[in-house]
Amino acid sequence: MSSARVDYIAPWWTYWLHNFPHINLRFQPSDNSFQPEDENYQQSLIFLGCVAAAGLGLNLLCLAIYLSCLCCCRKDDEEESKKPNSCCVTWSAVAAGLITCVAVGVGFYGNSETNDGVYQLTYSLYNANHTLGGVDSLVTGTMGSMKSGLHQHLARLDEIFATRGDYVQTLQFMQQMADNVIKQLLGLPDWAEAKVDLASVADQTANIEYYRWFTYLLLLILDLIICLLACLGLAKQSRWLLTTMMVFGVLTLVLSWTSLGADLATAVGTSDFCVSPDKYVMSQTKGIIGADIVHYYIYCNQTLSNPFQQPLTIFQRSLTTMQIQIQGLLQFAVPLFPTAERDLLGIQHLLNSSEASLHQLTALLDCRGLNKDYLDAMVGVCYDGVEGVLYLCLFSILAACAFTVMLCAIPRAWRQIACRERDYDDIDEEDPFNPRARRIGSQNPNHTNMHSFCSYSSSMGSQSSLHPPAPAVSNAPMSEYMNQTALFGGNPRYENVPLIGRGSPPPSYSPSMRATYLSMTEEQSRHFGNDFQA
Per-residue pLDDT of the chain (534 residues; tens, 9 = 90+): 334 445 788 999 999 999 998 998 888 888 888 988 889 999 999 999 999 999 999 999 998 898 888 777 655 444 444 444 567 777 888 888 899 999 999 999 999 999 999 999 999 999 998 998 888 889 888 888 888 888 888 889 888 888 888 888 999 998 899 888 888 888 887 766 665 678 888 999 999 999 999 999 999 999 999 988 888 888 777 778 888 888 898 999 999 999 999 999 999 999 999 998 988 988 888 877 888 888 898 988 878 888 888 889 999 999 999 999 999 988 888 888 888 889 899 999 999 999 999 999 999 999 889 999 999 999 999 999 999 999 999 999 999 999 998 888 887 777 666 555 554 444 445 555 555 544 444 444 444 444 433 343 333 444 444 444 444 444 444 444 444 444 444 444 444 444 444 444 555 555 555 566 566 666 666 654 555 454
For residue 465, what are the contacts with CB-CB under 8 A and spacing of at least 6? Answer: 452, 455, 456, 496
213-93-240 Cα angle (round to 5): 85
What is the reported pLDDT for 5? Answer: 43
338-340-342 Cα angle (round to 5): 100
What is the reported pLDDT for 469? Answer: 43
How many whole angstroms separate alpha carbon 300 and alpha carbon 435?
85
Residues in the chain: 534
What is the reported pLDDT for 195? Answer: 59
How many whole angstroms separate alpha carbon 385 and alpha carbon 266?
10
355 within some domain: yes
Whether the full predicted model's pTM is greater than 0.95, yes or no, is no
How many whole angstroms separate alpha carbon 319 and alpha carbon 134?
21
What is the reported pLDDT for 475? Answer: 44
For residue 409, what are the contacts with CB-CB under 8 A and spacing of at least 6? Answer: 88, 89, 92, 93, 96, 234
298 within some domain: yes
Find out whether 29 and 22 touch, Cβ atoms under 8 Å. yes
Would you call 23 helix, strand, or coil by DSSP? strand
How many whole angstroms separate alpha carbon 313 and alpha carbon 338?
34
Q: Which domain holds residue 248?
A: 38-70+89-422
How many whole angstroms separate alpha carbon 230 and alpha carbon 241?
7
316 within some domain: yes
Q: Could you tell me how far CA 330 lies from the centroid of its own chain?
A: 70
Would you call 29 helix, strand, or coil by DSSP? strand
Q: Which residues of 229-245 are buried (b: 16+ CB within 10 A; e: fewer)?
A: bbbebbeeebbebbeeb
Would you call 161 helix, strand, or coil by DSSP? coil
Q: How many CB atoms lie within 10 A of CB 443?
A: 8
Question: How many domains does the chain contain in total?
Answer: 1
230 within some domain: yes
145-151-156 Cα angle (round to 5): 130
Which stretches of 255-392 are assigned E, i.e. beta strand? Answer: none
How many whole angstroms separate alpha carbon 306 and alpha carbon 304?
7
19 within some domain: no
515 within some domain: no
Rg from Cα positions in the chain: 46
194 within some domain: yes
CA atoms within 13 A on the CB side of 446: 0
5 within some domain: no
